[in-house]
Copies of this chain bind each other. A is one copy, B any other.
Amino acid sequence: MGVTIKDVAKKAGVSIASVSRVINDSKPVAPETKDKILKVIEETGYKPNAMARGLKKNESGLIGLVTPDMQNGTFSELVKGIEGVIEKNSMSLIVANSKGEIEKELKALHIFKEQQLEGIIFSGVKFTKKHKDYFDRYQVPTVVVSQKFPGSGLPHLTPDNIEAAKTAVEFLIENNHREIAMLHGPLYDQSSGKERYLGYKKALKNAGLKENSDYVKKVEFSINSGYHKMQELIDEVEKLPTAVFAASDRVAIGALDCCLDNGLKVPDNISIIGFDDIELATVVRPKLSTIRVDHVELGRKVVEVLLAQIKKEEVKPECQKIDFELINRATVKNLS
């Protein structure tokens, strides 16, 4: 149906080899011949078939992203960053949503294998035996994003979650908070949830503060969950904490919402600090103080590491940390 290299060759009165040479400029071809071919290509609108080329050259020009959540507020930015550098390298990005289900995740990975993807950007919450089998068997260049999977041998890019969380909590302490709650994420081994929690503990310990288990609650990374757990906390506890460190901005925003609905003034009655600096953070009132992580930048860097890996430049699993920065907007009060 479409125009093929043969059609072009015939119409230009040359061999397909010559056509191939000009479209790839892989070998010199005489100017007149070249012009003739170019003209025919122009006229016919010929586009080389990437599947045929890919089959021959064994490269698809495709990179895949699998993510458990497309609405977590960092997705858009991450994709934007990824897409930007992928596009510069004339590759394309395939996205797959695992919805946090292991089966969907593996299905996506297998489709990626079939589609001969050259690299995978992997964002999951858990690393199972099946994951390990997959990556061991197929050896597709992969980088894990925003997370760490110790046994996997896969390189990852995350902010230094422990440090960042510690920074957040230290900031609260500097502002004279002593009763600090934390709404933390899932505590899988070395997960970002776990590490942020560790940072929290560390900051408390360094300041000689005691952790109060009533003030520590596990949440999902969602606005809703933040709201409900905050409500639980408010309901259960006899004395409210003076500050809350939330494991993500969405959680923080849920908590903020809950506080406001309970008639608490933020930050006058209670301070809140989040993590991520998603766009929502600048839009809620009061504006959310948080730990900023540039997810567009993260996306960019991830692809760079991935491309290095694809080009067989050895990449160590414990690769780059990405920067973070405390942004104090309006949800933290100094209790001096």
Whether, in the assembled complex, A115 has its beta carbon less than 8 Å from a beta carbon of chain B, the answer is: yes
**Further 10 A-B residue pairs, CB within 8 A, beyond A47-B110, A223-B283:** A2-B138, A45-B138, A47-B113, A48-B114, A51-B52, A70-B80, A71-B279, A87-B104, A257-B283, A260-B285
CB pair B55 A52 closer than 8 Å: yes
CB pair A51 B116 closer than 8 Å: yes
CB pair A97 B115 closer than 8 Å: no
Residues A56-115 near B (CB distance < 8 A): 58, 60-62, 70-71, 73, 75-77, 79-80, 83-84, 87, 90, 92-97, 104, 108, 110-111, 113-115
Quick one: which of A97, A108, A138, A223 has the most chain B CB within 10 A?
A: A97
Whether, in the assembled complex, A50 has its beta carbon less than 8 Å from a beta carbon of chain B, the answer is: yes
Listed A/B pairs (11) with beta-carbon separation below 8 Å: A45-B138, A47-B114, A49-B114, A51-B54, A70-B83, A75-B76, A83-B97, A87-B96, A93-B95, A253-B283, A280-B283
Q: How far is the CB of A75 from chain B (nearest CB, A)?
A: 5
Contact with B along A126-148 (1 / 0, CB 8 A): 00000000000110000000000
Interface residues of A (CB under 8 A from B): 1-2, 45, 47-52, 54-55, 58, 60-62, 70-71, 73, 75-77, 79-80, 83-84, 87, 90, 92-97, 104, 108, 110-111, 113-116, 137-138, 223, 253, 257, 260, 279-280, 283-285
Residue of B with least CB distance to A281:
B283
Quick one: which of A58, A93, A95, A284 has the most chain B CB within 10 A?
A: A95
CA distance A238 to B132 in the complex (A): 67
CB pair A94 B96 closer than 8 Å: no
CB pair B97 A94 closer than 8 Å: no
Q: Using Cβ atoms and an 8 Å threshold, which residues of chain B touch A84? A: 97
Which of B73, B96, B111, B113 is A83 in contact with, Cβ under 8 Å? B96
Q: How far is the CB of A171 from chain B (nearest CB, A)?
A: 23
CB pair B95 A50 closer than 8 Å: no
CB pair A70 B61 closer than 8 Å: no
Q: How far is the CB of A228 from chain B (nearest CB, A)?
A: 15
With A94-B93, A115-B92, A260-B285: A76-B87 Cβ-Cβ less than 8 Å: no
CB pair A97 B87 closer than 8 Å: yes
CB pair A61 B97 closer than 8 Å: no
Residue of B with least CB distance to A77:
B71
CA distance A279 to B115 in the complex (A): 34
CB pair A55 B51 closer than 8 Å: yes
Q: Using Cβ atoms and an 8 Å threshold, which residues of chain B touch A285? A: 260, 284-285
Q: How far is the CB of A40 from chain B (nearest CB, A)?
A: 15
Q: How far is the CB of A286 from chain B (nearest CB, A)?
A: 9
CA distance A323 to B79 in the complex (A): 28
